Amino acid sequence: MIKITTYTLEIIKFKVFITLLLIMIMGSCFVPVVAGDKIGPEITVSKAGGDECVLPADEIRRLHPGLLKHDRNSTMREGIRTLSDGGHLKGSLKACINCHAIKEDGKYINTSNPNHFCTSCHVYAGVSFDCFQCHRDTPEK
Ligand code: HEC
Ligand code: HEC
Ligand code: HEC
């Protein structure tokens, strides 16, 4: 027969207390991630340009910096401005801007507006660059 003394009872109570405390501490680590919370930037893709990017979404997200720089070099150093069929280069900055342009109050917004497609993600990711000192951040017309 197990003899339960007041002493063992106290130990059991203490263990239960510590276990509950640990569960509460661990639980609190997950509190910020409740359903409905947004993680990541809020990006708006305009439907005006079509349904498809030049690459699948997960690839263009990762690869666009290199793609843009590659095609800039093709244009600037080798004079290549279009594909052999006359279409835009995949990494054409002009084409990104034409497709991803967003209008507010009937006017195209530029990169100083936090809702600009490129800006909306770059602000979140802490990316800044000088491309738009020379290049348009709105479509040509
Ligand atoms: C000092 C001005 C200047 C800056 C800064 C600049 N560019 Fe350009 N870029 C040009 C000029 C000029 C052309 C040639 C346009 C042409 O002849 O078609 C060009 C062409 C390009 C092209 C090929 C044309 C197209 O859009 O299809 C790409 C791509 C490009 N630049 C990307 C970039 C990127 C990315 C950055 C920033 C990392 C950048 N550029 C910064 C001046 C600049
Ligand atoms: C023909 C129109 C078109 C062109 C050109 C285009 N895009 Fe896209 N882009 C889209 C569409 C539509 C989507 C949404 C596709 C999807 O979610 O599968 C998209 C998605 C993206 C995304 C992913 C957004 C997200 O939700 O994370 C990035 C980043 C992006 N484009 C950057 C670029 C860059 C940079 C260029 C130029 C090199 C470019 N796009 C050229 C139409 C275009
Ligand atoms: C979904 C998020 C997202 C969107 C949308 C997006 N970018 Fe980016 N961009 C990034 C991230 C993240 C980096 C940094 C990547 C790195 O450093 O490897 C980056 C880097 C770049 C760079 C290189 C900067 C440098 O100095 O190396 C260029 C150029 C660029 N983006 C252009 C664009 C253009 C143009 C658009 C809009 C047509 C755009 N991006 C839209 C996330 C985004």
pLDDT tens for 71-80 read: 888 888 888 8
Cβ-contact 91, 72 below 8 angstroms: yes
Residue 58: HSE in the Cβ half-sphere, 13 Å Cα cutoff:
0
Whole-angstrom distance, CA of residue 22 vs CA of residue 28:
10
The pLDDT assigned to 122 comes to 96
Ligand 3 nearest atom to the CA of residue 43, by list position: 5
CA of 61 to the centre of ligand 3 (A): 8
Whole-angstrom distance, CA of residue 43 vs CA of residue 18:
45
Residues having CB closer than 6 A to ligand 2 are 43, 45, 49-54, 57, 60-61, 64, 67-68, 91, 95-96, 99-100
Q: How confident is the model at residue 3 (pLDDT cuts 50, 70, 90)?
A: low
CA of 108 to the centre of ligand 3 (A): 20
- Domain ranges in the chain are 57-134
- pTM, rounded to two decimals: 0.83
Instruction: State pLDDT tens for residues 19-70.
Output: 777 777 776 655 444 445 678 889 988 887 788 999 999 999 999 999 999 8
Residue nearest to atom 10 of ligand 2 (CA): 53
One-letter amino acid for residue 19 of the chain: T
Cβ-contact 117, 45 below 8 angstroms: yes
The pLDDT assigned to 50 comes to 80
| Ligand number nearest to the C-alpha of 51 | 2
Question: Where is pLDDT greater, at 100 or 34?
Answer: 100
Mean pLDDT of the chain: 84
